[in-house]
Amino acid sequence: MTAGVPDAADFGTLTLAGLPIGQVDDAPPRLLRALEEAGVIAAEDTRRLRQFAARAGVRLGGDTGARVVSYYDANEARRAEELLGDLTSGRDVLVVTDAGMPGVSDPGYRLVTAAVDAGVRVTSVPGPTAVTTALVLSGLPTDRFCFEGFPPRKGLANRLADLADERRTMVFFESPHRLGATLAAMAEAFGADRRAAVCRELTKTYEEVRRGPLSDLAAWAAGEVRGEVTVVVAGADPAAAERTPADLAAAVADRESAGVPRRQAIQETARALGVPKREVYDAVHR
């Protein structure tokens, strides 16, 4: 290496480790070994990490002990710089989150990109994620899907409108106290009859998967819902995308001619054709 310039061969390795999303018994031997051998561990919640290690019978860092630091959204930028310094100084760094894989709606991306840019080796101890677990339990198509993370608090209607014609199965994370409102907004944007599944407390004692039309799930979620939640929504029907505004307006007109009030006719048309009510409304008033 050149004097004063670190050589990539002397760098440590950044490892992203997936922790079980529920059952401690799901932890693979390689994960437990990584926790015991780590010199530096960056954890989303250090308290929960220590609780997990105690349940798994693991001593973090083994006999010498690991330096455990917090690594969460609020300190991600500052901590990433610090951890990169550890890596370029030759120390191995293990990154974990509360559950699932770092970087999937959890801290990790910023540090990975910095490490890649610096020439640091990045590897992973693969583990479960609620994304694919919920997908396979949903009963919805799994051949093509997309992950949309947490829906935004502001501009939710606009984001969902952009996804109304998405044909792949969609996977979302959501907090339990916002679930009812989000499902209602999805029913408005995607159509009340769009199939979906709400997966709660995956792999845990009180695991629950509720499947049905978005309107039914929204009504259920209007009550109290607890735990970690993942929402899976079917993609748009290709046939629905081929219908023109004139087709939608004509379908509403047929119902109106039979004596159905316009508002009800729009709702019934949206439900029958599996298209968002807003799309039918716009077609009628266009």
pLDDT digits (tens, 9 = 90+) for 24-45: 999 999 999 999 999 999 999 9
Question: Would the pLDDT of 251 be above 90?
Answer: no
What is the domain count for the chain? Answer: 3
108-146: per-residue pLDDT in tens?
999 999 999 999 999 999 988 899 999 999 999 999 999
- Domain with 261, as residue range(s), is 240-285
Do both 22 and 121 map to the same domain?
A: yes
78-82, 180-184, 251-255 — most confident range = 180-184
Share of the chain above pLDDT 70, in %: 96
Do both 147 and 123 map to the same domain?
A: no
Rounded to the nearest integer, the mean pLDDT of the chain is 91
pLDDT at res. 4: 53
Do both 51 and 100 map to the same domain?
A: yes
d(CA 232, CA 182): 12
What CATH number did the domain enclosing 174 receive? 3.30.950.10
pTM: 0.79
Do both 158 and 221 map to the same domain?
A: yes
pLDDT at res. 242: 64
What CATH number did the domain enclosing 79 receive? 3.40.1010.10
Question: Would the pLDDT of 239 be above 80?
Answer: no
Question: What average pLDDT does this structure show over 258-282?
Answer: 82
Alpha carbon distances (Å) from 131 to 48, 148, 182, 228: 21, 10, 18, 12
Alpha helices in 46-178 (DSSP H): 46-56, 76-88, 109-118, 130-138, 156-163
**Count of beta carbons in the 10 Å neighbourhood of residue 88:** 18
In a domain, residue 3? The reply is no
186-201: per-residue pLDDT in tens?
999 999 999 999 999 9
In a domain, residue 2? The reply is no
Cβ-based burial of 279 (10 A; exposed 0-12, middle 13-18, buried ≥19): buried
Q: Which of 200, 208, 145 is nearest to 173 (CA)?
A: 200
In a domain, residue 177? The reply is yes
Partners of 40 in beta bridges: 67, 93
What's the pLDDT band for 171 if we cut at 50, 70, 90? very high
pLDDT at res. 180: 97
Do both 103 and 179 map to the same domain?
A: no
Do both 82 and 172 map to the same domain?
A: no
**Count of beta carbons in the 10 Å neighbourhood of residue 28:** 15
What's the pLDDT band for 216 if we cut at 50, 70, 90? very high
pLDDT at res. 267: 81
Is the CB of residue 131 less than 8 Å from the CB of residue 138? no
Residue where a domain terminates, one of 108, 128, 148: 128
Question: What average pLDDT does this structure show over 196-217?
Answer: 96
pLDDT at res. 237: 84
